[in-house]
Amino acid sequence: MKDQQQSSVALPLPAGRAAYALGVWRNPGLWLVLAVVGLVGAYPIITNQAATREAIFTTLLSIALASSLNILLGYTGYVSFGHVVFFGLGGYLGMYLLNSGVGLPVAVLAGGMIAGLLAFLLGSAILRLRGAYFALATIGINEAMRTFISNFGPFGGPTGISLNFAVYKPYGGAAQALWLTYYSLLSLTLVAIVLSFQVKHSKFGLGLRAIREDEDAAEVMGVITPRAKTWAYVLSAIIPGMAGVLFFFKNGNIEPLDAFRLHFSIELLVMVMLGGQGTVLGPVLGAAGYQQLRGFLLTNPTFKDYQLVLAGALLLLIVLFIPAGAIGWLRARFPRLRRVLP
């Protein structure tokens, strides 16, 4: 037996299996994505341009959120229309803590934890629902949370929370704090991509993808589906919660309508679908592409009032013609690309 094992090591592995023999850190696809996002993210830092920084901040935020949503939507096959609830709730808790004198790193971690906790509690309840019922429940949760926060005194009710200006002081004033937020978001985005990649290429991720393809069959094969789905939901919630703190720290104030904007959730879905659900690169490209397009539309006098109309039309076109998204389409069309495009 031992001899057999040794000799099998010497044989070249089949191409598709080689991916499992490599550690995930040695996968070229991951480094490709990280390098591209890292370079784009570093551009405003190198050139020291605040204007580009703002544009890229939005893109990075979208990438982090879309990659997180993809764990649930793309890997597990559960459509969440209310993912922004984690972003908003994390933001709210973060702002509250910051005003109470807690440092930014702790506030960010707390934002991630509350989002994860909410997902854990909700997960065991609503992940029993499948398909459209689950999607509807996620909308309901977002709306319920917005109504609750609008009436919740400590979080400022309908007017929300504004940061005391003194909060920025330890970070060298507001202008410097903006840079700090940017560095933090860039790091968080890279973490989101690594997390997305690790999940996809893990045993846990294989279980999730089995659930996506056929939940009953996955259960028969031994995947503990309630547990796997709950953890997928928790993992997809944590980074949005952390990003929420960073976003609203930079913004300076938070109010219910900003924090729980349903159409932001839908835009995230468009990004994931556009790039390719279930792939690591898809949400990254989709988010970047969508934000580029949105930036163009918002500054264009003819289209500036119609950007959401376009998002809707785009979603329709994707679902009708390239349901696998851009990366999914490429992977299906050119199987060789599967190894390089994670």
List of residues contacting another protein (CB under 8 A): 8, 14-17, 20-21, 201-203, 206-207, 209-210, 212-214, 216-225, 278, 335
Rounded CA-CA distance 190/198 in Å is: 12
Name the residue nearer to another protein (CB basis): 64 or 326.
326
What is the three-class DSSP state of 252? coil
SS3 per-residue string spanning 84-144: HHHHHHHHHHHHHHHHCCCCHHHHHHHHHHHHHHHHHHHHHHHCCCCCHHHHHHHHHHHHH
CB of 131 to another protein, least distance (A): 17
Name the residue nearer to another protein (CB basis): 75 or 248.
75
CB of 193 to another protein, least distance (A): 20
Name the residue nearer to another protein (CB basis): 53 or 201.
201
CB of 281 to another protein, least distance (A): 16
Name the residue nearer to another protein (CB basis): 83 or 200.
200
Q: List the one residue out of 303, 225, 259, 272 whose CA is nearest residue 65.
A: 272
Name the residue nearer to another protein (CB basis): 19 or 178.
19
* Pair 235, 71: CB distance under 8 Å: yes
Rounded CA-CA distance 48/161 in Å is: 30
CB of 230 to another protein, least distance (A): 14
CB of 157 to another protein, least distance (A): 44
Name the residue nearer to another protein (CB basis): 261 or 339.
339
Name the residue nearer to another protein (CB basis): 213 or 305.
213
CB of 303 to another protein, least distance (A): 35
Name the residue nearer to another protein (CB basis): 176 or 202.
202
Name the residue nearer to another protein (CB basis): 55 or 129.
129
Can you tell me which residue has the tokens 């609750």? Answer: 148
CB of 317 to another protein, least distance (A): 21
* Pair 287, 66: CB distance under 8 Å: yes
CB of 297 to another protein, least distance (A): 33
The DSSP result for 13-30, as a single string, is PPHHHHHHHS-GGG-HHH
**Region of 254 on the Ramachandran plot (φ > 0 left; ψ -120 to 50 alpha; else beta):** beta
CB of 214 to another protein, least distance (A): 5
Tokens of 236: 């997809």
Rounded CA-CA distance 314/325 in Å is: 11
Rounded CA-CA distance 282/277 in Å is: 6
CA torsion sign for 222, 272, 40, 47 is negative
Rounded CA-CA distance 31/190 in Å is: 11
* Pair 308, 263: CB distance under 8 Å: yes
